[in-house]
Amino acid sequence: MTGNREVITGGDYKRMVTGAYSEFLLEYDHINKLDVARLKAGTHILHTMGAAVMPLYEVKDESIGGLSSRVAAAAVFGARGNSGVILAQLFRGLSKGLSGKLNASSSEFGKAFQYGILYAQRVMPEGYPERPFITVAKAVAKGAYHAVRANLPIAEILNAAIDAGEKAMNDLAEKDAGASVMFIFLRGCLKGLDGNFVSPAVSLSLGLGRSADMPDPRDDLVRPYCLTLRIKNTKINVPELEKQLKEFSNFALAERYEKYIAVHIHTDHVGRVMEQAVGWGPLTDIRIINMSEAHALTAHDAIMPVAALAVAANAEAAQELQKAGASVLVTGAPDKCPSVAELVSAGHSDMAASYVMVASHANYRLVFRQAKRLLGKRVELVLCPDEATALKALKAFAPDKTANENAKIMGKAAGIRKK
């Protein structure tokens, strides 16, 4: 083992993530062209990376553990498409490996990276054929293993991983959009670590040289933390309070009760909300949930016991889905996949006590599975291969039955097996 004493700081991690985003800015269109199904995998990856980099904008936390946790929460919550979910899990594994650390040694970061690849592998359900993304990820993990064991500098670990990933890609029968994602991610991380950005990342996407079809990362900003509290001050002007809360959130609710005001808000900066909240009056029953992690969600004051949720591409499709039995609709299409956040937010809206989420395309499957993983038993899935099958499933929906009973009945009506 060498005497390497390199330290990877939060600033290094920030540059690596930004470098990866920068590289995807250059390559997302190329990934789209490799996507034989024409589902815009590159655009979905860029949306996912956009969500991941936004917490780095004006962030004060410089610890590598704190930054990696913020990035992971945003990536998991903002993930779109199957490839986006897998990449988000890579960030989540990295975060678990770096948890609680101010800085990390090269060896610690290398091990965290291997942990990330393990998380990415686990996202695929048992029995599914291995995706090229995972094939390359496994090769990358093996390539980095000896470099990590030898305690080499992080740049050499990344280079070893890149070499292994490039060889694995060359061994594939044909070029694959998903497989290229891992390789591009690693290359971007290395460039970010070196400060060798080919294009400025966040600044480019916020207006400098953006092409017309390039996603703006501000559109992918997610609010992964659910904060609830009570304010013992009945003199508060509730409409004014809600207006103030919406500066920090796209979902903010304040309700007046006899002796207190109840606040429910989804935010990306809990600290900023709490700094404001201490001026509102005495605070009690403060509860913070990271919605990007699996959590128990208790329904209260739900409008209906069970609801069917589906994805609609346009107003015409929405009408057809509602007529078939869907009560909750999320906007999206196979090439414009809804994010995990949009599905989870539906579960937090208390429209229903439980949900049957009906996917109408294979590109939604990992996103729907991730939403269920986060929301738990309140959600059941019916994973249909196309819109026609989804309509058959929805027509069998029975509001007087439980979500679990509905999932079985609907799956049977659509002729699909639960996986």
400 CB contacts (<8 Å, ≥6 apart)?
none
Amino acid 297: pLDDT: 64
Looking at the DSSP assignment, which residues form a beta bridge with residue 312?
331
* CATH code at 304-414: 3.40.50.510
Instruction: Cite the residue boundaries of each domain of the chain with CATH code 1.25.40.340.
Output: 7-208
pLDDT in tens, the chain (419 residues): 456 788 999 999 999 999 999 899 889 999 999 887 888 999 999 999 999 999 888 777 789 999 999 999 999 999 999 889 999 999 999 999 999 999 999 889 988 988 898 888 888 777 666 778 788 888 888 888 888 888 888 899 899 999 988 888 888 877 788 888 888 999 999 999 888 765 544 554 544 455 656 788 888 999 999 999 999 987 888 998 988 888 888 788 899 998 899 998 999 989 889 998 988 999 999 999 899 988 766 666 678 899 999 999 999 999 999 999 999 999 999 999 999 999 998 877 778 889 999 999 999 999 999 999 999 888 999 999 999 999 999 999 999 999 999 999 999 999 986 55
**Topology of the domain comprising 7-208:** 1.25.40
Amino acid 140: pLDDT: 87
Alpha-carbon gap, residue 164 to 170, rounded angstroms: 10
Amino acid 298: pLDDT: 65
Q: What is 322-374 written as a DSSP string?
A: HHHT-SEEEE-BTTBPPBHHHHHHHHHTTSEEEEEEEE-SGGGHHHHHHHHHH
Instruction: Cite the residue boundaries of each domain of the chain with CATH code 3.30.70.
Output: 225-290
Coil, strand or helix: which one is 113? helix
> Under a CB-based contact definition with an 8 Å cutoff, are residues 35 and 41 in contact?
yes
> Under a CB-based contact definition with an 8 Å cutoff, are residues 89 and 76 in contact?
yes
Q: What is the DSSP letter of 277?
A: H
Amino acid 227: pLDDT: 92
Looking at the DSSP assignment, which residues form a beta bridge with residue 303?
none
Amino acid 200: pLDDT: 46
**Topology of the domain comprising 225-290:** Alpha-Beta Plaits (3.30.70)
Instruction: Cite the residue boundaries of each domain of the chain with CATH code 3.40.50.510.
Output: 304-414
403 CB contacts (<8 Å, ≥6 apart)?
306, 354, 355, 356, 378, 379, 380
